[in-house]
Structure 1
């Protein structure tokens, strides 16, 4: 029996590689480990391994505007930069009491893009997920020279709430190299920018927003859409960075999981597999928004494979995933008991 073990990281506890090794313990037969990522935490390592790139560090500001050293990747052969935004403005980079989606900024992402361009990048892979921000990529845009102006022609402040004052977008001073660079935007979720299923309503509470904050941020994001546009599938990824990358970088937004799966040649890998096992830290209703296990399950099902999912915990709504795309769902604990029966 051939089993392909293809999980993403279990946030805060295991990397994708560690999760794959843990799940594989006790499986008899041929086992292929395929650590994955969806654009969020761990994407840099997965892509560096697949594309054979090197890790570098550079200075950029975090979500609260504080300078820090952040890792990024570069593939010399193809002049491709890999920027995982979670390393820059990620929520995992903040202490719990520091969460502030109303004022958090993606400015550091723009700084890292400029670093990549200085390095000679012809292609930039932006891995979106795990952000502490809700600013539609406005900070990123400001860092690369896009002017976001209020009704008096003044630059708006950084942060999601400031979008309520947006009246004009001027890209005349945007770094000219951006027009000559290909931006591939790998998004961890497919949510749009606004609405009940948009970035703010679905994710802002996890980033520290109160109910009042959610309403104010949604109004600000709606103003952004009225002025700049960007209410597109994947636009809501990373607090709206998907939309910002599409609007201000002419980036091509896509499913981060599908992008990584294509890079790892997933379809070829599972061609002769008897079972595919995927997983993440928590399986719940949000898993269906393009998260790694869901996309892995869908692609494996299209290939006629049996698919199991393993999670650190089973959250609200996970039952909807049973049958489509998962034949069975386990916690790590129950999987340890099941694996010996394979």
Structure 2
């Protein structure tokens, strides 16, 4: 239980105010992380009000570095999305969103806004020509706004160009033997002989770059960017061979130009090899997405001070414990603090849940319903489930406390 004092006894002990941290992911297809956090918070406040107990609720919309990270960060920062004219993976004009923190220091880009696969699914896919150039144009927008750090979320890309299009938009030139600039796309990289950085925007090297990367694939080879991710971007066997050879050539030229060997480095194969140029030329740091978001939002400080943590996502299953939002929250939360998951569906067994370090998990589903019905009622059901959870946890019980005994250590969660 998180509240064992009566309303009357609380009046003599201000420290008894319960502190609840609400740190959910989005429910994909149903509600954003911001909406989910607000819905959970309503349920928490209602439950404590029912008991006549005070509560301090802090919401922190969260994400794992993939789709929805831009919205989660904007929600936590209290800022609005900005838009800019750029191009999609095939070079067609498109409006793309990006964001800037309230203090103007940090910018965030979801690369798929500019080079995402959904943006080019209206035409036959062209894996050899698809480019990340549009992402570079968004980066220029952030540099123009004077940010000190750029967070790049790279999932869902349509390109396999090793990030050359993005760097070209920032002023780098990728040259063939005759000195001509290569056309956009990974298919031309087999002709690469030189990287000319004389025209690179100097601001690009002054800012800090962090890339949300949750795959460990190398740049080339049977587990590389082209072989593993190329087919889902429309690559045939021959396309894969050409793209892989091009990325290998890129690795050789970058190694010669920067002294950085990339072929076997984990994560370089993410998003069509985009980290390759960013890490070798701009010194970008690769981080698990949830860790990057946690650091940017200072989630550790909030969770350290909580008496109860509510988190959640659309589907809570075994994958949730492998680096996604719920996993990050449970690892950052002190072991003595209850962590409760509220999800659209819960598929973990009682034994799996017990071993996970999660205190409890609840589905918002009430009886048989269609997916459309679930989505339409998701926010109402999230509030109701949070309400019921907190009514249970605030039920008077045997004397106890959520605070650790002075001098004891906080054991890490599994």
Give the TM-score category using the shorter length.
Answer: 0.7 to 0.9
Q: Which of these residues, 230, 237, 245, is aligned with residue 262 of structure 2?
A: 230
Which consecutive unaligned segments of at least 5 residues does structure 2 have? 3-18, 49-54, 255-260, 368-380, 393-414
**More strand as a share of residues:** 1
Matches of 1:209 and 1:329, distance apart in 2: 41
Q: Secondary structure at the match of 2:177?
A: coil
Cα gap change, 1:36 to 1:109, in 2 (>3 Å): same
8 Å Cα contact 2:194/2:253 also seen in 1: yes
Superposition TM-score, scaled by structure 2 size: 0.66
Q: Which residue of 1 aligns with 2:313?
A: 279
In the alignment, does 2:69 pair up with 1:37? no
**Which is higher, the Rg of structure 1 or of structure 2?**
2
Query: Displacement, 1:102?
Result: 3.2
Q: Which residue of 2 aligns with 1:136?
A: 162
Cα gap change, 1:42 to 1:158, in 2 (>3 Å): same
Q: Secondary structure at the match of 2:103?
A: helix
Matches within 5 A, 1:240-279: 240-271=273-304, 272-279=306-313
In the alignment, does 2:140 pair up with 1:107? no
Matches within 5 A, 1:87-106: 87-95=113-121, 97-106=123-132
Q: Secondary structure at the match of 2:203?
A: helix
Which consecutive unaligned segments of at least 5 residues does structure 1 have? none
8 Å Cα contact 2:156/2:271 also seen in 1: yes
Cα gap change, 1:10 to 1:113, in 2 (>3 Å): same
Matches of 2:355 and 2:237, distance apart in 1: 34
More moved, 208-217 vs 218-227: 208-217
Cα gap change, 1:15 to 1:75, in 2 (>3 Å): closer
Matches of 2:157 and 2:178, distance apart in 1: 31
8 Å Cα contact 2:346/2:363 also seen in 1: yes
Q: Which of these residues, 196, 204, 216, is aligned with residue 170 of structure 1?
A: 196
More moved, 99-108 vs 233-242: 233-242
In the alignment, does 2:25 pair up with 1:8? yes
Q: Secondary structure at the match of 2:99?
A: strand
Q: Which residue of 2 aligns with 1:193?
A: 218
Q: Which residue of 2 aligns with 1:84?
A: 110
Cα gap change, 1:307 to 1:46, in 2 (>3 Å): same
Superposition TM-score, scaled by structure 1 size: 0.78
Q: Which of these residues, 79, 88, 91, is aligned with residue 62 of structure 1?
A: 88
Cα gap change, 1:78 to 1:274, in 2 (>3 Å): closer
Q: Which residue of 2 aligns with 1:295?
A: 328
Cα gap change, 1:250 to 1:190, in 2 (>3 Å): same
8 Å Cα contact 1:123/1:184 also seen in 2: yes
Query: Displacement, 1:71?
Result: 1.9
Deviations 1:266-316 (A, max 9, x none): 22333334454333568576973x4434433443487775464746697xx
Query: Displacement, 1:75?
Result: 4.2
Deviations 1:196-233 (A, max 9, x none): 55444443344344455444433332332233243434
Q: Which residue of 1 aligns with 2:411?
A: none
